[in-house]
A and B are shown apart, each in its own frame.
Chain A
Amino acid sequence: MIEFQQASVTYPSGVTALRNINLRIRKGEFVFLVGPSGQGKSTALKLIYREEKASIGRVLVEGHDVGRLNAGGVARLRRRMGVVFQDFRLLEYKTVRENLIFAMQVVDTPHAIIRKRVNELLEQVGLAERAKAFPLQLSGGEQQRLCIARALINHPPLLLADEPTGNLDPETSRDIIKLLEAINTKGTTVIMATHDRDIVDKMRKRVISVSNGCVIADQLESGYYHDDFDESGSDFNMPEV
């Protein structure tokens, strides 16, 4: 489903965010992208949703080289994935329901489908009772649930979550992870960038450890949070799946 082929990202300032990444993520996987802040986890996600382009190498999503997509192509790509951020990025002046409606309107969804899909999503993320509340009236966990609901509006086969539990307490974080796991069980590939050791160790999913822009470990199954992050980085890549 997703393939990084010798992908590197170097910013115009000369800073290298990712070095020579080779990865393959299959459909339906739940993958943790772990590592300390600023080591390249978010950049790897940005390459997938084409916020960044690989300076060298390429990234394939469902067989398409995302670096070669034009603006329309990027829009189509993003309809095939949902993105969840740590800072929620909700519209405070719109209610829970309106936030979802807004996200569906911009992708040209007919009114009848919007109504049905919004109700489905609110049920799925457990916010049906809070549909008329504004984001600032919600708890952090509820806000993140709304974020996840918004990411799922187009029935995407892929969900990217960039530190979705970063602003949440441990208990709420576990709820969010349960929700992501439930979504994954229904067939959606989930890639989550995090530095939350507890969650990673508890879930025992595939864990890709990133340090200094390099993949330093790729535990294909029953992974755990990698302890030996090398500050100097390494060009070592684990074998592809």
Chain B
Amino acid sequence: MFSRIEFIIAETFQGIRRHLDMAFAAIACVVATMLIIGMVALLQINADYLIKNTIERVRFMVYFQPETSRDEALGICKRIGKLNGVASTEFIPKEDAWENYKKQYTGLDKLLGRNPLPDAISVKPINIENIEEVKTIIEGMPEVDKVQRDQDVSNYLIAARSNMQTAGWMLGILLALLAFVIIHHSIELTIVARRKEVVIMMMVGATPATVGLPFIIEGLIYGFIGSILAVVALKGYYGMIAQKMLQTTNTHLWNDSLDIFNGGLILIICGTILGFVASMAAVVKFLIKPKSKITNA
């Protein structure tokens, strides 16, 4: 068993050595793919992080019709609190609101003479995406006079995140396909270049695993090395950008070290799988499918 493993490893590295140019191309492609995917993921995570921070401050106010009684208003407050998409509600009696106004605008009470404010509820949504939906339901309640929301950056962030996500993933998928093709091609070339060895192996009765494994491991190595390089580059650049953002705009970027580690690990696994699948496809095409006549080569 040991000699077989030894043999497979030796064959793998011989294959890489013989096609260093293709090996570099394959690894570079995996690096580019994983960099793009990693960047898209980071942008998305940071957009989510900013949205999450923004949403903590997002509220909208529900004002009642003047004839709505306090009991009715409190009942509606409970109903709104149970709606899907609502995190919490706070009932604001018109007296409290009036006191706040008076503090903010000195002399207002003298000018108006009486409290013109209705009872209101401050609603905190769970997320930004379904604010409009919640707002529509509340606006449909007959006791509600008006639902008001200050303009915030959330809409912009949602749109930006959505566009970024679509474009990023499309680019990522395209690059992944390109990496697949290059790794596949590189393994094909290795198989063709080593067809004599392959023929001999097949003729003396090597199992398909012994014949195919060196090529599969080769693709796996391309994927693994490429994704490790991408993760190292991403980590370095992201750290630099995060520091610069903090210095220049006092903005904290997402920086959860455990999640960054896990994300890097996921990227490495994805890159390795990409290399594995691409080389496996080449091995199946050339060595395993009955139609492949490598022995005639």
What are the interface flags for B71-102 relative to A under an 8 Å C-beta threshold, 1 for contact and 0 otherwise? Answer: 00000000000000000000000000000000
Interface size class of B (residues with CB under 8 A): 20 to 34
Q: A83 an interface residue at 8 Å Cβ cutoff?
A: yes
Tell me the complex Cα distance, A111–B207, Å. Answer: 18
Interface majority SS (helix, strand, loop, mixed), chain B:
helix
Task: Establish whether residues A108 and B288, one from each chain, have CB atoms under 8 Å apart when the complex forms.
Answer: no
Q: B114 an interface residue at 8 Å Cβ cutoff?
A: no
What are the interface flags for A113-127 relative to B under an 8 Å C-beta threshold, 1 for contact and 0 otherwise? Answer: 010000000000000
Whether A75 touches B207, Cβ cut-off 8 Å, given contacts A89-B200, A102-B197, A150-B200, is yes
Chain B residues in 8 Å Cβ range of A72? 207-208
Chain B residues in 8 Å Cβ range of A110? 3
Task: Establish whether residues B3 and A106, one from each chain, have CB atoms under 8 Å apart when the complex forms.
Answer: no
Please give the distance in Å from B7's CB to the nearest CB on chain A.
4
Tell me the complex Cα distance, A114–B205, Å. Answer: 16
Q: A78 an interface residue at 8 Å Cβ cutoff?
A: yes
Q: How many positions in chain A have a CB within 8 Å of any CB in the partner chain?
A: 30
Chain A residues in 8 Å Cβ range of B199? 89
Q: Which of A67-90 contact B (CB under 8 A)?
A: 71-72, 75-80, 82-83, 89
Task: Establish whether residues A108 and B204, one from each chain, have CB atoms under 8 Å apart when the complex forms.
Answer: no
Whether A75 touches B200, Cβ cut-off 8 Å, given contacts A105-B7, A106-B7, A106-B210, is no
Q: Which of A151-185 contact B (CB under 8 A)?
A: 151, 153-154
Whether A79 touches B205, Cβ cut-off 8 Å, given contacts A108-B3, A108-B4, A110-B3, is yes
Chain B residues in 8 Å Cβ range of A102? 197, 200
Q: B295 an interface residue at 8 Å Cβ cutoff?
A: yes
Please give the distance in Å from A35's CB to the nearest CB on chain B.
20
Can you list 9 pairs linking A and B with CB atoms under 8 Å apart? Answer: A53-B290, A72-B207, A78-B205, A89-B200, A91-B200, A103-B200, A105-B4, A150-B200, A150-B204
Add 4 more A-B contacts to A49-B203, A91-B200, A108-B1 (CB < 8 A).
A89-B196, A89-B200, A106-B7, A107-B206
B interface residue numbers (CB < 8 A to A): 1, 3-4, 7, 196-197, 199-208, 210-211, 288, 290, 293, 295-296
